[in-house]
Amino acid sequence: MEHRSSSAGFTLIELLVVITIIGILSTMILMQLNYVRARARDIKRIYDVHQLRTAVEMYYDDHGTYPKDLGSDAMSAYFPNNHIPTDPVLGRYYMYSYYPADNPTKYQIWAELERQNIISLNLDHDINSNTWYGNGIDAADPASEKCEARFSIGARDCIYDVGQPF
């Protein structure tokens, strides 16, 4: 007499193991995707800051002084479609400081990165503009590049800056 098994599929344990493995893999993929997105936003910030620097220098060539505001109509003329770049997460203009108050001869443009980028942070200008007008920061302080707070608004600890400090 032939004995036939009544089960014609997977056991509950086998299904649970497969579902667990799929869950772990999808979590790992999503975590990596978040890292890549944050990195892409940081690259955009660095590009935007350099684009702003070029526009500020063009403004200086035309007016003999640096602007007092990045969001002004006069600055928008230096961008395609009169669109001044803004932070990809916060949607606001990048931080800007200048000195002196009348006819500025120094400026700093800065953004806070989400992740530490050693190469970019080593190549930025590290200007101390705490006593300047606008949104000054001491980017020369080594703590400004530690990147420990993971893009906490107001932490100011992963600062990429460019400008004319002299």
- The string of DSSP codes covering 83-94 is ---B-TTT-SBP
Q: pLDDT (tens digit, 0 to 9) for every residue of the chain, 166 residues total?
A: 566 656 678 899 999 999 999 999 999 998 888 889 999 999 999 999 999 999 999 999 999 999 999 988 889 999 989 999 999 999 999 999 999 999 999 999 999 998 888 889 999 999 999 999 999 999 999 888 888 766 565 667 889 999 998 8
Residue 87 lies in a domain: yes
CA torsion, ordered 42, 115, 132, 59, to nearest 10 deg: -10
Residue 71 lies in a domain: yes
> In the chain, where does DSSP find H-type helix?
12-63, 73-76, 118-123
Gyration radius (Cα) of the chain, Å: 25
Residue 120 lies in a domain: yes
Residue 5 lies in a domain: no
Residue 3 lies in a domain: no
Domain range enclosing 137: 12-164
Residue 16 lies in a domain: yes
Residue 158 lies in a domain: yes
**Residues composing the chain:** 166
**Distant-in-sequence contacts of 139-146, Cβ < 8 A, 24+ apart:** 139/108, 139/110, 145/116, 145/121, 146/116
Enter the DSSP assignment of 5.
Answer: -
Count of the separate structural domains present in the chain: 1
Residue 146: what residue type? K
Residue 26 lies in a domain: yes
